[in-house]
Structure 1
Amino acid sequence: MVNSKKIYNWYIALVAAMCMVLYGYDASVFNAAQGSDNWHEWFDLDGKNDAYLIGLVNTAYTIGAIISGFFFGGPVADRFGRRWGMGLGCFITVIATFIQAFAPRHNIGAFIGGRVLIGIGQGLALTAGPIYIGEVSLPEVRGRVMTFWQTFYSVGSFLAYWIAYAGNIYKKRLGHWDWRLVVIFQILVPLIIMVLLPFQPESPRWWIKRHNNIDEAKKALRRIRDTEQEVEDEILSIREAIEYENETLGGGSYKPLFTDPSIRKRLGLAFVINVGQQLSGQGTLNSYSSAIYKKIWTSSQTINLINALNATFGILFTLNALWTADRFGRRWLLIVGAIGMAVCMLIVPIVGLKTPDVIAADGSATKTQPVGIAIVFLLFLFIFFYKPSWGATVWMWTSEVFSMNVRAQAVGMCSQSQNVANTVFQQFFPIFLAKEGLKCLFFFFATNVLLAIFVFFFVPETKQVSLEEMDALFGGQNHVEKGGQILGISDARRSEATDSEKNTTVHRENSRDISSV
């Protein structure tokens, strides 16, 4: 049966997962805002002549996020705790939202500055959030819990696009508030997270790693584990792993990321799949779908409705990872997802290029409604494949493969490598789209084929492997065993082998119970 502790364990993980709403909302808010004529008028921007500047507005966020994720996210989460990392990131996001919403007329610089600050805040939150989830969740359900990390990205998009759609309907009455409403609602979820975080436990792994405070670590675990034996076993595994890392590898620094062959291998793999996540096409489509749809429809209300429906279905599609991630594994999801996305990105430009254009009264060329519906269906099918795989699973895999001594630094760097890819690619994508039209989607077809091949040959399966024993999977030392030898308790652990097998069975039963929550 599902008990209160299991429900509470899910609850605290989901509060951390809500940090992803910030990312999903911001990734969509600019796409929604640039669909408003009032936004262009307020900042004196022209969609055709100022394509480079509009690209800069979009990438300003990623610049802040890269700086924060690479250099501040890990140290803040390690020094002050995972909760502080999330809370501080949310606070900065709230301040930056007001800067954007009330940027002076004709002052695009203030708007860009607000987006840089939001990037800094989210770089902190998006580093600490997945680490916290991984460190408080049982291995058997870690994949399912991390599914909600990506689900909340879709929730953020859902909120942004539906608010934009409502604002577009009443844009004459709202005036410049049609885009301000979309921006200002970005404070909603960060405020909720800031209120809830102080009332949930800090990561037990952080208590031991940072302060060697076993008592506080046990208090935290007792709130989320069923039995005292489970608490003692987990504390012992954490102590052993951290003892080995402190003695041999050094903790809380960036050096092991480049000197330890096993960690270096994981860092390289994580960089590739995180960059691949953005070059798959979803990141660009999420930011520039309005520009793509304008080649099909002239009505901004229709485009806003399609974006809102896209975000709505994105939530449902992401939940497919709940029953696939821990059943079929991370590799299966990544390969199937990449192949499905490749097929969609092959068919969409073919449909667009091989069907006739309709010339409007103003001389602009659009597509017939049946062709437009076909293209939208294919782009929805694209997110059906993307959301549970390269959306949810990339974050899942990245948050669970690194050892405690480098986890915060590595997750921060790898997650922000997504923004490195975005900064480079999205800066010139508007020009790419303007010159090549739908033919630019062939690039995403080729990228997804390469990603499927890469995962098949290089990415190992990580489902249901405990965080403390992940290193052995990548050719490194088993930190639990080595730490036990240092602490002089390896014999005791060997005598508990039978009990460990029983605990594994219990954990699997628990995971089946949790799946009904």
Structure 2
Amino acid sequence: MVSSKRVYNWYIALVAAMCMVLYGYDASVFNAAQGSDNWLLWFDLDTKRDANLIGLVNTAYTIGAIIAGWFLGGPTADYFGRRIGMAIGCILTIIATFLQAFAPWHNLGCFIGGRVLVGIGQGMALTAGPTYIGEVSPPEIRGKIMTFWQMFYSVGSFMAYWIAFACNANKAKLGHWDWRTVVIFQILVPLLIVILLPFQPESPRWWIKRHGDVGRARACLRTIRDTDQDVEDEILAIREAIEFEHEALGGGRGYLALFRDPSVRRRLYLAFVINVGQQLSGQGTLNSYSSAIYKKIWTSSETINLINALNATFGIVFTLNAMWTADRFGRRWLLIVGAIGMAVCMLIVPIVGLTTPDVVSADGTSTTKTQPVGISIVFLLFLFIFFYKPSWGATVWIWTSEVFSMNVRAQAVGMCSQMQNVANTVFQQFFPIFLANEGLKCLFFFAATNVLLGVFVYWFVPETMRVPLEEIDALFGGQNHAEKGGQLLGVPAAGAQTQAQTQVGAQGKQEDAAEIKEV
């Protein structure tokens, strides 16, 4: 029977996880908006004449997100708290939504300004959100809860694509509200988060690290841990880790501490690689250019919009696979299996496309694939999402949020998460040319990349499943912060206490069994 405190623990973590809807929605909403003739008319744009300007609208968002993730999100979450970091990100997104939806006639600058601001908001929320989840979740369910972080990305895409599909079907009635409706719905989830955040506890680790307030940290833990013993053990582990970071590491925190400790540097570089790899696996490109790829197979824009919407729908279901695999088989297993599956899909898709004949369209102006071939390619791309979502979608976020020590966690998570946008910004500058020149053959690149990612994980990425946050440094050649902090405080480490209690209990059971045998 699940306790009420465990249910509440899930609730507060899921409120934080909803910040990912911001990312999923905005990653899809601009594709929907720029596909509207009314949007192009409102800002006096032509897709051929103003291709670079339209590209700038998309790049403005990623620049804002990168700046916030690298330089603003971490310090804000550390100084004001994880809840305030998430709230600021959501409020900026709400303001930015109105700037975009109600930009004046032919004033593209206002729309771009809104894109920059929503990027900053997203960068702030995506730094504080996973940090908060990692700090309030017990180790045994941390992977399950972080699964919802990635799932809410799919929820954001689901909302954007289905709203866009509905608006496109009724664009004659809606007029300029066809693209405005898609944009303005972006305020829905951040508004809900801002309303809910004040009524849930702050991270207990932040209370002790920022204010040294053990009392408030204990009060927070009592709302989400089942027993007083669990609360006291966790309080002790947090105090020990923070004491070690303060004394042994000279109180180093933030950006300087990221490069002072060799074990932290190692984690940072590993997290950089897997976050960049998440986007170079092919998912980032499919999310932005799926319509362009599908146009080589289908001629109907309505069909393409429906496929995108169904893709987002299945993405929600596929992500849930991480719920029962992340904490059962581990992070490494998911990343390796996911990489192999994605590589196979990206290998077969271009083979099918290149070895099947083209047919002339009904109007005689273009060539496409036959419907059975098109269906098979779409099926393979859906299968790619089946492998991606629970592995390089959800697990990359799980691993990134749990490997850093308290003194650098917020800054590191913010920087690593925005490496996804760095990779996207760079790669997507030349992918349209790559696609135009090579067609479906460009997918061989992703097949090779996924093989390399699987090999990288096998050799370099350690398993973090069910390891307490305060003890995770030991996996990377660092010292156990809880154990060393316990020595500085002159008390047994919390992990050692738990182990000793387990050993005593086991010894007692053995003695009882011996007595029963004698009788």
After TM superposition, is the score higher than 0.5?
yes
Using a 3 Å threshold, how does the CA distance of structure 1 residues 480 and 422 change in structure 2: closer, same or farther?
Answer: same
Structure 2 CA distance for aligned equivalents of residues 381 and 492 of structure 1:
44
Correspondence for 2:330? 329
Using a 3 Å threshold, how does the CA distance of structure 1 residues 351 and 228 change in structure 2: closer, same or farther?
Answer: same
In the alignment, is residue 444 of structure 1 matched against residue 459 of structure 2? no
Using a 3 Å threshold, how does the CA distance of structure 1 residues 110 and 359 change in structure 2: closer, same or farther?
Answer: farther
Correspondence for 2:514? none
Using a 3 Å threshold, how does the CA distance of structure 1 residues 11 and 435 change in structure 2: closer, same or farther?
Answer: same
Post-superposition Cα deviations, 1:424-451, rounded to whole Å, max 9, x if no partner, equal 1112222222222222212111111110
Structure 2 CA distance for aligned equivalents of residues 8 and 376 of structure 1:
40
Alignment match of 1:430 (pick from 429, 432, 451): 432
- Tell me which amino acid in the other structure corresponds to 1:154: S
Deviation, 1:163, is: 0.3
Structure 1 CA distance for aligned equivalents of residues 495 and 145 of structure 2:
29
Structure 2 CA distance for aligned equivalents of residues 398 and 59 of structure 1:
24
Deviation, 1:220, is: 0.3
Residues 383-402 of structure 1: matches in 2 within 5 Å?
A: 383-402=385-404
Structure 2 CA distance for aligned equivalents of residues 107 and 492 of structure 1:
59
Correspondence for 2:130? 130
Correspondence for 1:29? 29
* Contact 1:35–1:290 under 8 Å retained in 2: no
Post-superposition Cα deviations, 1:408-463, rounded to whole Å, max 9, x if no partner, equal 01001000011110111112222222222222212111111110110011000000
Structure 2 CA distance for aligned equivalents of residues 287 and 66 of structure 1:
18
Deviation, 1:223, is: 0.3
Correspondence for 1:72? 72
How many residue pairs match? The answer is 504
Alignment match of 2:415 (pick from 396, 413, 416): 413
Q: Secondary structure at the match of 2:140?
A: coil
* Contact 1:403–1:467 under 8 Å retained in 2: yes
Structure 1 CA distance for aligned equivalents of residues 433 and 52 of structure 2:
8
Alignment match of 1:364 (pick from 363, 366, 370): 366
Deviation, 1:469, is: 0.1
* Contact 1:399–1:411 under 8 Å retained in 2: yes
- Tell me which amino acid in the other structure corresponds to 2:64: G
Post-superposition Cα deviations, 1:341-367, rounded to whole Å, max 9, x if no partner, equal 111111112222222223332623322
In the alignment, is residue 310 of structure 1 matched against residue 336 of structure 2? no
Which is worse superposed, 58-67 or 187-196? 58-67
Using a 3 Å threshold, how does the CA distance of structure 1 residues 492 and 132 change in structure 2: closer, same or farther?
Answer: closer
Alignment match of 2:489 (pick from 481, 487, 505): 487
Using a 3 Å threshold, how does the CA distance of structure 1 residues 501 and 440 change in structure 2: closer, same or farther?
Answer: farther
Correspondence for 2:160? 160
Deviation, 1:109, is: 2.5
Q: Secondary structure at the match of 1:197?
A: helix
Task: Show structure 2 runs of 5+ residues with no match.
Answer: 507-519
* Contact 2:483–2:493 under 8 Å retained in 1: no
Correspondence for 2:232? 232
- Tell me which amino acid in the other structure corresponds to 2:366: S
* Contact 1:205–1:217 under 8 Å retained in 2: yes
Post-superposition Cα deviations, 1:34-84, rounded to whole Å, max 9, x if no partner, equal 332222333333334443333322222110000000000100000000000
* Contact 1:55–1:426 under 8 Å retained in 2: no
Which is worse superposed, 132-141 or 432-441? 432-441
Deviation, 1:291, is: 1.7
Q: Secondary structure at the match of 2:407?
A: coil
TM-score (norm 2): 0.94
Residues 65-104 of structure 1: matches in 2 within 5 Å?
A: 65-104=65-104
Correspondence for 1:276? 277
Structure 2 CA distance for aligned equivalents of residues 491 and 400 of structure 1:
20
- Tell me which amino acid in the other structure corresponds to 2:23: Y
Correspondence for 2:53? 53
Which is worse superposed, 372-381 or 101-110? 101-110
Q: Secondary structure at the match of 1:366?
A: strand
Q: Secondary structure at the match of 1:404?
A: coil
In the alignment, is residue 373 of structure 1 matched against residue 375 of structure 2? yes
* Contact 1:334–1:393 under 8 Å retained in 2: yes
* Contact 1:52–1:428 under 8 Å retained in 2: no
Name the larger-Rg structure.
2
Structure 2 CA distance for aligned equivalents of residues 368 and 48 of structure 1:
29
Structure 2 CA distance for aligned equivalents of residues 427 and 186 of structure 1:
26
Q: Aligned-residue CA RMSD in angstroms?
A: 1.7
Runs of 4+ in 1 over 6 A off after TM superposition: 501-504
Post-superposition Cα deviations, 1:240-284, rounded to whole Å, max 9, x if no partner, equal 000000112224321121121000000000000000001111111
Task: Show structure 1 runs of 5+ residues with no match.
Answer: 505-517
Q: Secondary structure at the match of 1:187?
A: helix
- Over the matched positions of the two proteins, sequence identity in percent amounts to 79
- Tell me which amino acid in the other structure corresponds to 1:481: E
Using a 3 Å threshold, how does the CA distance of structure 1 residues 491 and 392 change in structure 2: closer, same or farther?
Answer: closer
Correspondence for 2:477? 475
Deviation, 1:128, is: 0.3
Structure 1 CA distance for aligned equivalents of residues 359 and 471 of structure 2:
60
In the alignment, is residue 183 of structure 1 matched against residue 153 of structure 2? no
Post-superposition Cα deviations, 1:386-410, rounded to whole Å, max 9, x if no partner, equal 0000000000000000000000010
Structure 2 CA distance for aligned equivalents of residues 2 and 491 of structure 1:
29
Q: Secondary structure at the match of 1:2?
A: coil
Post-superposition Cα deviations, 1:474-503, rounded to whole Å, max 9, x if no partner, equal 110110011011111138975653325699
Structure 2 CA distance for aligned equivalents of residues 471 and 240 of structure 1:
13
